[in-house]
Amino acid sequence: MHIHILGICGTFMGGLAVLAKEAGHKVTGCDANVYPPMSTQLQAQGIELIEGFGPEQVDLQPDLFVIGNVVSRGNPLMEEILNRGLPYTSGPQWIGEYILRNKWVLAVAGTHGKTTTSSMLAWILEEAGYHPGFLIGGVPMNFGISARLSGKAADSNFFVIEADEYDTAFFDKRSKFVHYRPRTAVLNNLEYDHADIFPDLGAIETQFHHLVRTIPGMGRLITNAREESLQRVIARGCWSENEWFGVSGGEGWSLKDNEDGSFDVRFNGDIQGTVDWFLTGEHNRLNALASIAAARHAGVPPALAIEALSKFDNVKRRMEVRGVVNDITVYDDFAHHPTAIATTVAGLRKKVGAARILAVLEPRSNTMKLGTMKDALPGSLADADLVFGYGAKAGKDALGWNLGEALAPLVEKAAAFDDLDALVKAIVKAARPGDHVLVMSNGGFGGVHQKILDALAP
């Protein structure tokens, strides 16, 4: 089959392209911004890329056009496809029908931690000899790639997928994850997000319940017991097994922190082993608990899963150290929601103790740009010693609200900037040996990490 992918340079659609190519399909694609690193990764796979959405691309005569959710009505190529009545489908639906069918799908859903938990789960299955395929919205450092069909020549029966609640396409407003039909599904957490498409938390809970409805009776849900929203989702109906994690006692999966940073894992009160690793934060411990529980459903003994996690190297852009200059450490993290920001800062605080944390934030997600979460920002940054906020003055990433006013409750320890060079100068002026500069954004942030490191260099 020849598929032509509209919006191929996004993380999800780029991963889809790699999987399709590995599966033996001819793959071409287009996007508005065809540039490295995604362009070079795809071209290395032998995938032809076209800049822009010119209507003449219908002359490629693919068997099917696969449409990314970046594409909307008015897109010239999409309009030509519609006018000619040519066959098209969404990326998630194509994945569900051509990659995931007849697989044991392990899907990880949640507002936070999807990428990290999916990476942990894929690594556990790899260490257990399952050689899973996976599609993850980041790059697990144990693998060095975000997508693969299988880890060996013979196709694996297991596939791990990051299950996003964002909508599927302009013509399918259901969440992406309803197309995946998992046998094992992790419901990691659930908060209000994606203010551009969901009016309230209840609307997202409904989408999560649509996912619950797709789990077969022989399947299993792994659900965070600490989330009232997920308790409501399960209370609306559950037709499969459900194991709770994060419980404080009784049935389900629980954890106990140890002074050395390790933690004990218990199931129904019985100890399963101790995870000894370098990751920080309660959120990561819960991610680990969920991945151990999900792997157990696929047949991996908890003791083996626990051993695998001791070798887990995390995911790029998750507390990734980008460099150290003059004993000043610069980190890169994907945190883009107040809860994720708070847990990231708290995790670093536990790691560095009394050392100063300089938090550098770009509120860039659609929800943040709309200002829905702006009042929660000061609280989420309370554990930082200094806060440097950045909001672009114009363009697609421009804020529709005043960042300085939002950070005002932090008084003198916070400052807002709309010029990247001025931001870097202020950070470098404030930084001193022993500090930890934590950069948080779900975008490239104008290469600010390297700019800071370069400016710190003597």
Q: Output the pLDDT for position 367.
A: 67
Residues 266 and 407 placed together within one structural domain of the fold: no
Which two structure tokens, joined as six digits, stand for 183?
Answer: 């046998």
Residues 209 and 235 placed together within one structural domain of the fold: yes
Residues 45 and 120 placed together within one structural domain of the fold: no
Residues 156 and 297 placed together within one structural domain of the fold: yes
- Count up the domains in the chain and report the number: 3
CA distance 220 to 202: 23
CA distance 292 to 254: 11
- Out of 276, 309, 342, a domain closes at 309
The answer as to whether 315 is a domain residue is no
Distances (CA, A) of 244 to 55, 247, 262, 266, 301: 50, 7, 21, 12, 18
The answer as to whether 247 is a domain residue is yes
Helix boundaries (H) for 5-89:
11-22, 38-44, 76-84
CATH code for the domain in which residue 258 is found: 3.40.1190.10
Residues 157 and 205 placed together within one structural domain of the fold: yes
Strands (DSSP E) along 381-424, which ranges?
386-390, 414-417
Residues 247 and 356 placed together within one structural domain of the fold: no
Along the 458 residues of the chain, how does pLDDT read in single tens digits?
999 999 998 889 999 999 999 999 999 999 997 766 677 778 888 899 999 999 999 999 999 999 999 999 999 999 999 999 999 999 999 999 999 999 999 999 998 889 999 999 999 999 999 999 999 988 888 888 889 998 775 678 999 999 999 899 999 999 999 999 999 999 999 988 777 788 899 999 999 999 999 999 999 999 999 999 999 999 999 999 999 999 998 899 999 998 888 899 999 999 999 999 878 788 889 999 999 999 999 999 999 999 999 999 877 667 788 899 989 999 998 877 788 888 889 888 988 889 999 999 988 776 676 677 788 888 989 889 999 989 877 666 677 788 888 888 898 898 888 888 999 999 999 999 999 999 988 777 778 888 999 988 87
Q: Output the pLDDT for position 210.
A: 97
Residues 108 and 202 placed together within one structural domain of the fold: yes
Report the b/e string of 188-211 with b at 16+ CB within 10 A. bbbbbbbbebbeeeeebbebbbeb
Full domain range(s) for residue 414:
320-456
The answer as to whether 95 is a domain residue is no
Residues 64 and 143 placed together within one structural domain of the fold: no
Closest to 366 in 3D by CA, of 404, 316, 400, 332: 400
CA distance 227 to 415: 33
CATH code for the domain in which residue 73 is found: 3.40.50.720
The answer as to whether 179 is a domain residue is yes
Cα angle vertex 181, ends 176, 185, to 5°?
A: 90
- Out of 309, 334, 364, a domain closes at 309
Q: Output the pLDDT for position 85.
A: 98
CA distance 450 to 11: 22
Residues 324 and 405 placed together within one structural domain of the fold: yes
pTM of the model: 0.79
- Out of 247, 276, 309, a domain closes at 309
**181 secondary structure, DSSP code:** -
Position 122: which residue type? Answer: A
> Count of H helices and E strands in the chain?
15, 23
The answer as to whether 314 is a domain residue is no
The answer as to whether 29 is a domain residue is yes
Residues 287 and 335 placed together within one structural domain of the fold: no
The answer as to whether 392 is a domain residue is yes
Q: Output the pLDDT for position 369.
A: 67
CATH code for the domain in which residue 437 is found: 3.90.190.20
Residues 188 and 274 placed together within one structural domain of the fold: yes
Residues 258 and 326 placed together within one structural domain of the fold: no
The answer to whether residues 396 and 424 touch, using CB atoms and an 8 Å cutoff, is no
